Structure 1
Amino acid sequence: MRQHVDLLKGNITTALGKLSIPIMATSFIQMAYNMIDMIWLGKVGSGAVAAVGAAGMYMWLSNGLATLAKMGGQVKVGQSLGAQNYDDARMYSKGALQLGIVFALACGVLTLFAADQMIGFFRLNQASVIQDAIIYLQITCGLVVFNFMNQILTGILTAMGNSRSSFVATSIGLLINLVLDPLFIFGFGMIPAMGVAGAAIATVLAQFVVFVIFLAVIRKETAMFHDLRLWKAASKKHVLTMVSIGLPSALQSMLFSGISMIIARMIAVWGDGAVAVQKVGSQIESISWMAAEGFAAAVNSFVAQNYGAKQYERVRKGYRTSMLIVSLWGLFCSVVLIVFPEWIFRIFLSETEVMQMGIDYLRILGVSELFMCIEITTAGAFSGMGKTIPPSIVSIVLTAARIPTAYLLAETALGLNGVWWSISLSSVLKGIVLVGWFMWFIHRHLPLQKKAGEAVALPEEQV
């Protein structure tokens, strides 16, 4: 099919480009969902932004469960296709979707009954902000099943070399969200103004439409999705294999978001405006890391298929190429955030009392963009070989270090900026350590071939 990119032969840069550009564009579009919410809610006030920021932390936390199913499914589908084992590829696809449904239902039920306690964790100051956060959380997490399914289907299609369909589906969802957001937030005609609740409803409706489009796409992928019978349990062996691969990444994602929640609670001491700055600042910064994650997804599929096909030298060359590309992107993002912070932040919030905090946030985090991008891309390469433990260890240990570092630096003259520096410095260290680990790994386990076309056996030991 023309939508599929052949990752096993041909020019590596071309293959990565054809696969990664739609994925990165899809990542930008997914980022734009939240950015559009922030822009419109910023016109309501920093309180509305703080409410969505607090509730959004739990959406981020729940995405760890989607990551388990997506990562396990994407890696094993890619490896199975590379080894031309199509029955296994279909079983892994089925198992990933079933895991996603179970996780989404569990998250939805928990959110509906415990939203008050979950938002109470952040110790927000204003009653109206707290109530808005509860409503946003119940709507978005209560109906998170569409979000989960979209992520998992994106991963499976990417493993197949088809990133264009995800781009088209997500683009349509963005357009719908773009139209519905102002209508539901501010009201129009017979549509009442719903504020934060309107933003949540617009987002969920857009995700539902994207899911429907995905259903239409996979109906045409008969080789992979024909007769999946989701009501029949997938093979226990296949599910456990996916869990073993996806669990480290899921724990990494959930601990990362959990640590961010603790930091959000910490900065609430500086007022709800500081919480709003963290939310807006992270959305702006996501321009960098969402693009890197999109590129890492392409690297993941490229490595998975070539690893499954035992083309180990191609894995090495693909990593080198990807690191060059993503390093240029990271440097560009650093320059933009450091040089133009006020101009960028003013798009979202213009209140005088939060402006300087926002400028400081962007400049401090701008220092670490290059290192964050190479860390994310290297994690994608590790995961493509089924080695999800190294990036998880690095991320968990150094991200956890943000908490004591933030407490220490916040007690100095830096104040709130000390918290931002704890985040930036940990990203720098994660990039350096993980790249060093990967270089050691490929030097030891993927030696250079002596002759062109000579296969190199890879030992089976785990890292």
Structure 2
Amino acid sequence: MAQSKEMTSGPSLPLILNFTFPLLLGNLLQQTYSLVDAAIVGKFLGINALASVGASTSVVFLILGFCNGCCGGFGIPVAQKFGARDYVTMRRYVSVSLKLAAVMSVAVAIVTSLLCGFILRSMRTPENIFEGAYLYLLITFIGVPCTFFYNLLSSIIRALGDSKTPFWFLLFSTILNIVLDLFCILTLGWGVAGAAIATVFSQGLSALLCYIYMYRKFDILKTEPADRRFRSDLARQLLYIGVPMGLQFSITAIGSIMLQSANNALGTACVAAFTAAMRIKMFVMCPLDSLGMAMATYSGQNYGAGKPDRIWMGIKSATLMMTVYVIAIGALMWGLAEKFALLFISPDETEIIDDTALFLHINTSFFFLLGMLSILRYTIQGAGYTRLAMFSGVSEMVARVLVSLIAVPLWGFWGVCFGDPTAWLFANLFLIPAFIYVYRRLQRIVVKEGRVVANS
């Protein structure tokens, strides 16, 4: 039987660190999907194919970000009920969330698949890479249910304090993705479409393995017929928490789409540099994302247990860990960014390598802002204030739109490089006072008979 784990007692730093580490490994593996796709495509199919894969990165983030945000939100009531030891309601939340996921993921897949061409033309995708970008985007959108269910099931398992199990399934899936990438691209000759097919199939397998394991190994999730009924009141609560989290990612992505559209207009070379740099950046920011995800579960459980003071302890511990990492990765990127660029780009493409390194130098120099953003946003979400956290996404969107409309036309690729750091700054200017507001409310939580009754 798999073991669930409470984080409502004991020193916060080792609890968060131990919970974060498997999350980090899992996130690194998920980013390995993107790294492998881009590296194989760039090395074996060329710069135009690499640009095709990256031309719609921000659109993929918009759609998959919405799905993943909803999944994270669906896990918050599960974590809260687990912390409150209300296991019956917890199981009912799990059952309803799976039904919602089935409907939502299929609807998103259908709508987005029909809009692929319109999306790419709206983003001013260069004609010489349009066909490849269309195929990659279409297959990715068709596979949305695979991604949705993997992230939902992983979120539920993490809500029970188990961050290790999803990692093992993802490890197997990542290895499979690498093998399928090589097979589909080199043996079958499917080009960028083969890279997308390999990724979708691998994530679908991860979702299936998580589902089988979850219900076979977690006795706490074994349901009665009454638990499996669709309950509209629980569905509303899940949507009330999950949809704002999804919209937060989507709103953030709107700014990213504007920024990427401005970058696309700079030409294929800038698109290729942006693609390579983003793949590397997404990989090295995994520890910050993982730390934030750990704080969502940690704060959710302690909110459910009526222990707001432990949430503040967790913030301090997470900030210490984040600061150490930010210093280390900043030094590494300033020394080796060009070497990392060679994973995707041939040595003779010196201009693209220089632009990739420039993007990484600027972005990692501002990683402390990103780290604070992750910690504060996920903590607020874990306490159930997802609509408030959503507005930080609005701040990011506004910043990226301003950069794309003003800085990129004036300074070209330099302006693109400052898009994300500007967005992180704007988000923190909102999140810091927002957290102070939330924490003061949490301190007034009323606890009766071991369960959270209300906050005012």
Q: Same fold (TM over 0.5)?
A: yes
Q: Distance in 1 between matches of 2:352 and 2:203?
A: 31
Q: Distance in 1 between matches of 2:110 and 2:338?
A: 41
Say whether residues 1:168 and 2:168 are aligned partners.
yes
Amino acid paired to 1:358? T
Say whether residues 1:71 and 2:72 are aligned partners.
yes
Q: Larger deviation: 437-446 or 360-369?
A: 437-446
Q: Distance in 1 between matches of 2:440 and 2:107?
A: 43
- The answer for the alignment partner of 1:452 in structure 2 is none
Say whether residues 1:104 and 2:116 are aligned partners.
no
Say whether residues 1:329 and 2:330 are aligned partners.
no
Give the total of aligned pairs. Answer: 448
Deviation for aligned residue 1:441: 3.9
Alignment equivalent of 1:376, drawn from 374, 377, 393: 374
- The answer for the alignment partner of 2:133 in structure 1 is 133
Q: Distance in 2 between matches of 1:47 and 1:237?
A: 50
Aligned pair in 2 of structure 1 residues 213, 444: CA closer, same or farther (>3 Å)? closer
Alignment equivalent of 2:385, drawn from 378, 384, 387: 387
Maintained 8 Å contact 2:26/2:171: yes
- The answer for the alignment partner of 2:155 in structure 1 is 155
Q: Larger deviation: 380-389 or 335-344?
A: 335-344
- The answer for the alignment partner of 1:38 in structure 2 is 38
The 5 Å alignment of 1:58-457 reads: 58-127=59-128, 129-187=129-187, 192-220=188-216, 221-226=218-223, 234-350=230-346, 351-412=349-410, 414-431=411-428, 433-439=430-436, 441-442=438-439, 445-446=442-443
Aligned pair in 2 of structure 1 residues 429, 65: CA closer, same or farther (>3 Å)? closer
User: Which deviations, in whole Å up to 9, do the C-alpha atoms of 1:246-278 show, x marking residues without a partner?
Assistant: 222211101111221121111122102212222
Deviation for aligned residue 1:78: 0.6
Aligned pair in 2 of structure 1 residues 234, 59: CA closer, same or farther (>3 Å)? farther
Query: Structure 1 residue runs of 4+, over 4 Å off?
Result: 227-230
Structure 1 unaligned segments of length 5 or more: list them: 448-454
Aligned pair in 2 of structure 1 residues 288, 109: CA closer, same or farther (>3 Å)? same
Q: Structure 2 length as normaliser, TM-score?
A: 0.91
Q: Distance in 2 between matches of 1:293 and 1:50?
A: 26
Maintained 8 Å contact 1:329/1:370: no
Q: Distance in 1 between matches of 2:186 and 2:42?
A: 12
- The answer for the alignment partner of 1:450 in structure 2 is none
CA RMSD of aligned residues (A): 2.4
Q: Distance in 2 between matches of 1:60 and 1:408?
A: 23
Maintained 8 Å contact 2:70/2:245: no
Q: Distance in 1 between matches of 2:397 and 2:362?
A: 16
Maintained 8 Å contact 1:123/1:268: yes
Maintained 8 Å contact 1:337/1:362: yes
Structure 2 unaligned segments of length 5 or more: list them: 445-449
Aligned pair in 2 of structure 1 residues 104, 405: CA closer, same or farther (>3 Å)? same
Aligned pair in 2 of structure 1 residues 229, 103: CA closer, same or farther (>3 Å)? farther
Aligned pair in 2 of structure 1 residues 114, 438: CA closer, same or farther (>3 Å)? closer
Q: Distance in 2 between matches of 1:115 and 1:293?
A: 28
